[in-house]
Amino acid sequence: MDYNEKTDKYQKRYWFWERNGKNYVTFYYMTLAVVLLALFFPNIITFFLGGLFLLFCILYVPYGIWNKIGHTNYMKAEKKEAEADEKKRQNKIKKLCELHGDEFGEAVYSNELRVGMDKPAVTESWGDPRLKKRSKWYYSLGTSLNIVFFKSSKVSEIVEDSDPFELDMEKEEVIALWGAPSDEKKTVNKTRTKLRWYYFPRTTRQHTTVYEYHVDLEDNIVVGWKELE
């Protein structure tokens, strides 16, 4: 039986005991108190109450014990799975430390970057970049860029939540990062071609489309951009 089957089997009993376990224990103690009262102070009332409590105890004790066992088994299954997960985690970190060094193994496992990492460690941590440019790797995230700078093939600087564009980016580089624009305006004259590309659209309550950024290109080179919202 795998972990999910175990938890499915015991989960209802676990939550039943979490919600009602204290009431069951209280009822057991009350039954014991009433029975002792009937023994030490025998009369028709104490016998009646003692018998009534014993009857309910006989009826409900097995159900309570069954749920308590389920609660215990659920906790054991949870603990066993947590221990197995932690063992897998440690084994994975150990392998990553062997590949990338003790300093960076756990960081790679947690998908974190640190200065001094080599390119294979960066790739394993963050995946392949959307754009590689000279000594910089670009990762697009939401509407911003994370930029990793390299020196001698090692991470020298990490810039997160940067603007989505850079001056002098080429048209193809913008597309590599963000795909084709959602809208475009084009102006052509004798000396140059101007483009205005619109990115990150959303639909308003009035069912119109607005954009978060537009980026301006002249002769296919980024010359500026503006945040519209």
Give 16-29 pLDDT, tens digit per residue: 656 666 666 676 77
Torsion angles phi and psi, residue 181, rounded to 5: -65, 155
**CB 139, CB 121: distance < 8 Å:** no
Provide the pLDDT for residue 2: 45
Give yes or no for residue 87 having a pLDDT over 70: yes
Least confident of 80-84, 106-110, 180-184: 80-84
Residue 174, pLDDT > 90, answer yes
> Can you tell me the mean pLDDT for 9-13?
61
Structure tokens at 152: 């001698």
How confident is the model at residue 3, as a pLDDT?
42
- Residue that the structure tokens 């519209």 belong to: 228
* CA 34 from centre of chain: 52
**E strand spans, the chain:** 131-133, 136-141, 144-151, 154-162, 183-188, 193-203, 209-218, 221-227
Distance CA 226, CA 229 (A): 9
Mean pLDDT across 135-153: 94
Token output for 183:
């809208």
pLDDT in tens, 19-55: 666 666 676 777 777 777 777 777 777 777 777 777 7
Q: Which residue has the higher pLDDT, 74 or 156?
A: 156
CA–CA distance, 123 with 176 (Å, rounded to integer): 17
The three-class DSSP label of residue 185 is strand
Which pLDDT score is estimated for 213?
A: 96
